[in-house]
Amino acid sequence: MTALRVGLLGFSGFGEPGEQDHQSSMYLPALVSRPDVDIVAVAATDPREAARAAAVAAQTGAVEAPGAAALLDRHDIDGVVVCAPLAQRAAVVCQVIEARKNVLADKPLALTGEEVARIATALHAVPVAERPIVGVAHHLRLHPIIVAATAAITAGRVGLPWNLQGDFVVAGGRPCPDGELPNLGVHAIDTVLALLGLPARRVHAIAAGPPRARESAIVLCVDHDNTVTSTISIARTGELAGFATSAVALHRYRVSGSHGTAVLDLSKPALRVHTAKGIATQWAGPGTVARLVGGWVGAALGANGTVIDVQAAARTAAVVDAARQSLRAGAPHDIAWPD
Amino acid sequence: MAEASTGVVSVAVVGTGKIADQHLAALRKSSRARLVGVVDINPARAAAAGYSHGGAPATTRLDDVLADPACDAVIICTPNTTHAQIGQACAAAGKHVLMEKPLATTVDDAAALHTAFAERGLVLAAAHTHRSWDYSRSVKQALESGDIATPRLLRLAILGGWTSWGDWRSWVLDPALSGGHPLHNGVHLLDTVCWWMGDRPVRVYARGAKNTSAALRIDDYLEMVLTFAGGGVAVCEMSRSHRPSRFAMRDVLAVGDEGIIALPDGSDAGAVHDDAGSGAIPAVPSDAFTRQLDAWLDALAGGQPLADSHDGVLAVIMAVAAGRSIDTGQPVDLADLAPAVDGVAR
């Protein structure tokens, strides 16, 4: 079987380098479970990631490269999973593109639309025949209910949508130091854009919370084309029994259309198990990260596979950028929707 | 005005449409109040209502009940834009009032009503009936328990299809009679979330849509987002435009610093699937109109109604601000609309 030869680059996300490590917690398990993936090399993007890089190298038998340049110089790597610190992420992704390696980047692809545009420019500067695949980890849009609902809505099951309401609430965990818009917000915004398939033109962002933590909840009121509106709430509450720290406690959407209404609860599908220890939910189907990784690996191997591309990242970044402006101004702000 | 502190309160009902039936039913069940008259500008409707409710005297003239010394209090169920004039007449006649929402259709009229009743020592209560329904009281109790700590985000959605507004002849569709949807139904949600949040609203951002027909002169879908002084936010949705037309959904969500309260749609209903399709079998609730009536009667005896005239004025302010926000596409600060009447807006 042909296997995709993968390098893991960076073990960071929001916060200090090494603090948030989706590379180890999310992508590594999905990759090692696949027979069509060989993890060839790992590299830290910051000295504070060194211990994690060493641990993953030891766990997988991969080579521990001394840094990004050394990893990207290798001829035995086809694709790279990038979890560089947010401050460096755009630059690192561009570096991987210039090395002609396929990319799977943790979300957000970058903190601003300008940085996403820089990545897009770097990608389109590569001749088509050599152009690598760049996938972005907006994995929640791959939830099986979202995939099915998107197809149903596209097929006209609710007629013409005129409104969408969404809620995305996480239990516990440290508030994101860069604010929840580029963190939790990107997931919800991307899912809404996937469901509706419509440009977003204007957003009014309203922050909730006490004066010192105004973004413990954010409500985004978005105007789309065709007079369609959406309202998305994003919130982080305290620790909740039955939920791991920073787990999604509530994730749902309602799409109202000219001929019907779709109500989507993303806690399903789920088996509920009641024991003396509490209530747990389980499901045997592949998780969204596994689906994301599978799509990227398939696309990179030239087999059946789809990725969530840079355009998706550009669109969510545009909404996030405008929402930030709206929060500052206390008024609606136009979205510079990328063509 | 007759003393109403301990005896049975004599009540007249003005306006005999659908909502009046709920108030009349509550009166019929009450041992603390008796119906002494019904008023409607339509003589046939007045007569039918009187006949249906124990042969109560029926009249087309408001002055007949206002001049009756045996009438202590009035429940007003007329089209919204008539509330101010009828309310003022009741105050001048020394009658206590339970006013169907909205208190009035302008902020000035609402403030003037509050003042008229306050100056005469009369009770003016607003029929913000959602405070009396079991679901709403459950949410209020859960929030007051402190289990989720400070609520930061509330959601209340009351959605339905075009099932209760009739056709183009419905007075609700005429903004000259209803004041528009934020005032007609929006006040229920605005008042309810304020009551739940227990904080002062400061700003509203609203959007509306005319979904059933572009020729509508009111929005049949409303979304109103309130911001509160302490930083909380409430998203209110009211709809008569959902499809299918038999669609009915009530959804509540509260997210606090330490937890979530959820009352998703269907939480208080069974389900039935038959040859006609699938539907809900709602649990039989407590009678909100009886609870509301009892609280009003308590107020006549010196207690506190569930929603007083301050609440009524505030609801009108929020609704008018929501209408302005829909028109301008911008958020509206409620302070810009608050009446310059001392003590009216809390």
Reported as a single tens digit per residue, the pLDDT across B119-171 is: 999 999 999 999 999 999 999 999 999 999 999 999 999 999 998 889 999 99
Asked if the model's pLDDT at residue A211 lies above 90, the reply is no
Binary contact (A209, B231; C-beta < 8 A): yes
A86: three-class secondary structure by DSSP: helix
pLDDT of residue A212: 62
The pLDDT of residue A213 is: 65
Q: What pLDDT does B249 receive? A: 93
Contact B260 A214 (CB under 8 A): no
Of B207, B231, B265, the CB nearest to A214: B231
Asked if B153 lies within 8 A of A165 by C-beta distance, the reply is no
Would the pLDDT of B68 be above 50?
Answer: yes
Do residue B155 and residue A167 have CB atoms under 8 angstroms apart? yes
Residue of B nearest to A235 (CA): B255
DSSP codes joined into one string, A290-335 = HHHHHHHHHHHTTSS-----HHHHHHHHHHHHHHHHHHHHTS-EE-
Assess contact for A166 and A146: CB atoms under 8 A.
no
**Residue B333's Cα: distance from chain center in Å?**
22
Task: Burial-class residue B44 by CB neighbours within 10 Å (0-12, 13-18, 19+).
Answer: exposed
Nearest to B258 among A237, A257, A331 (CB): A237
Whether A227 has its CB under 8 Å from any CB of chain B: the answer is yes
pLDDT for position B282: 86
B162's CB contacts (< 8 A; 6+ apart) are: B212, B220, B240, B241, B245
CA geometry: angle B107, B182, B232, nearest 5 deg: 90
pLDDT of residue B342: 47
Q: Flag whether pLDDT at B251 surpasses 70.
A: yes
Query: Residue A210 pLDDT more than 80?
Result: no
- Mean pLDDT value of segment B210-231: 96
Least confident of B137-146, B267-276, B312-321, B322-331: B267-276
| Residue B6 confidence (pLDDT) | 59
**CA pair distance B67, B85, nearest whole angstrom:** 16
**ipTM of the prediction:** 0.93
Contacts of A211 in chain B (CB under 8 A): 231
Chain A: nearest CA to B230, how far in angstroms? 6
The pLDDT assigned to B26 comes to: 97
Distances (CA, A) of A79 to A7, A74, A100, A301, B175: 6, 11, 9, 10, 62
Query: Is A177 at the interface with chain B, CB within 8 A?
Result: no
Reduced 3-state DSSP string for B106-145:
CHHHHHHHHHHHHHCCCCEEEECHHHHCHHHHHHHHHHHC
Query: With b meaning 16 or more CB within 10 Å and e meaning fewer, what string describes B158-176?
Result: bbbbbeebeeeeebbbbbe
| Cα(B21)–Cα(B77) distance, integer angstroms | 10
What is the DSSP code (8-state) at residue A286? Answer: P
Say how far apart CA B18 and CA B166 lie, in whole Å: 12
Model confidence pLDDT, tens digit, residues A1-45: 789 999 999 999 998 898 899 999 999 999 999 999 999 999 999
Question: Which chain A residues are closer than 8 Å to B158 by Cβ?
Answer: none
Chain A residues with CB under 8 Å of B243 CB are: 158-159, 256-261
State the pLDDT at residue A316.
98
CA distance B317 to chain A (A): 20
The tens digit of pLDDT for each residue in B188-217 reads 999 999 999 999 999 999 999 999 999 999
pLDDT at position B344 over 80:
no
Q: Do A331 and B155 touch (CB under 8 A)?
A: no
Work out the mean pLDDT of chain B and round it to a whole number: 93
Pairing of strands B124-127, B96-100: parallel
Q: A114 to each of A317, A318, A336, B62, B142, how far by Cα in Å?
A: 9, 9, 11, 68, 45
Query: pLDDT at residue A179 above 50?
Result: yes
For residue A149, pLDDT over 90 is answered with yes
What one-character-per-residue DSSP string does B279-291 give? Answer: EEEEPPPP-HHHH
Q: Which residues of A touch B237 (CB under 8 A)?
A: 165
Closest CB to B233: pick one of A219, A223, A256: A219
Per-residue pLDDT of B160-173, as tens digits, reads 999 888 999 999 99
Residue of B nearest to A233 (CA): B153
Inspect the interface and report whether the beta carbons of B253 and A167 lie closer than 8 Å: yes
The residue among A203, A212, A215, A221 with the most chain B CBs within 10 A of its CB, best to mutate, is A221
A248 in B contact zone (CB under 8 Å): no
- Report long-range pairs for B333-339 (Cβ below 8 Å, ≥24 apart): B333/B202, B333/B203, B334/B201, B334/B202, B334/B203, B334/B204, B335/B202, B337/B107, B338/B107, B339/B107, B339/B108, B339/B110, B339/B111, B339/B313
pLDDT bin (cut points 50, 70, 90) of residue A246 is very high
Q: Which tokens go with A231?
A: 């309202």
Query: Chain B residues contacting A, CB < 8 Å?
Result: 148-150, 152-153, 155, 157, 159, 205, 207, 209, 211, 221, 223, 225, 227, 230-233, 235, 237, 239, 242-244, 247, 249, 253, 255-260, 262, 265, 329-331
> Percent of chain B beyond pLDDT 70?
96
User: B241 near B220, Cβ under 8 Å?
Assistant: yes
CA distances from B86 to A298, B39, B95, B109 (A): 73, 11, 11, 11
Q: Given this model, what pLDDT does residue B268 score?
A: 86
Q: Is A267 on the interface with B (CB under 8 A)?
A: no
pLDDT band at B2 (very low <50, low <70, confident <90, very high): very low
The answer to whether A11 and A23 have CB atoms below 8 angstroms apart is yes
Mean pLDDT for the stretch of residues A304-328: 95
With an 8 Å Cβ cutoff, is A209 touching chain B? yes
Name the average pLDDT for chain A: 95
The pLDDT value given to residue B1: 41
Average pLDDT for A188-196: 98
Q: How confident is the model at residue A305 (pLDDT cuts 50, 70, 90)?
A: confident
> Would the CB atoms of B255 and A169 count as touching at under 8 Å?
yes
pLDDT value at B339 more than 90: no
Q: Which residue of B has its CA nearest to A243?
A: B259
Q: What is the CA radius of gyration of chain B?
A: 20
Taking the Cβ of residue A241 and every Cβ of chain B, the question of whether any pair is shorter than 8 Å is answered with no
When CB atoms are compared, the residue of B152, B230, B329 closest to A216 is B152
Instruction: Name which of B279, B346, B244, B175 is nearest A259 in CA terms.
Output: B244
All residues at 6 or more sequence positions from B42 whose CB lies less than 8 Å from its CB, including other chains = B16, B60
CB distance A331–B330 less than 8 Å? yes
**For position A1, what pLDDT does the model report?**
74
At B295, the pLDDT band (50, 70, 90 cuts) reads very high
Q: Report residue B340's pLDDT band, with 50, 70 and 90 as the boundaries.
A: low
**Cα–Cα dist B36/B30, whole Å:** 13
- Using an 8 Å CB-CB cutoff, list chain B residues near A159: 243
Distance in Å, alpha carbon of B284 to nearest chain A alpha carbon: 25
Per CB-CB distance under 8 Å, the chain B contacts of A267 are none
Could you tell me the pLDDT band of residue B78, with boundaries at 50, 70 and 90?
Answer: very high
Q: How many CB pairs under 8 A join A and B?
A: 110
For residue A177, the model assigns a pLDDT of: 87
Query: How high is the pLDDT of residue A303?
Result: 85
* Least CB–CB distance from B152: residue in A217, A240, A330: A217
Task: Calculate the CA dihedral of residues B49, B51, B53, B54 and round it to 10 degrees.
Answer: 160
Q: Which residues of B touch A258 (CB under 8 A)?
A: 211, 243
SS3 A265: strand
Burial classification of residue A179, based on how many CB atoms lie within 10 Å of its CB (0-12 exposed, 13-18 middle, 19 or more buried)? buried
Question: B246: distance to nearest CA of chain A, Å?
Answer: 11
Q: Give the total residue count for chain A.
A: 339
On whether any CB of chain B is under 8 Å from the CB of A214, the answer is yes
Whether residues B223 and A221 touch (CB distance < 8 A) is answered with yes
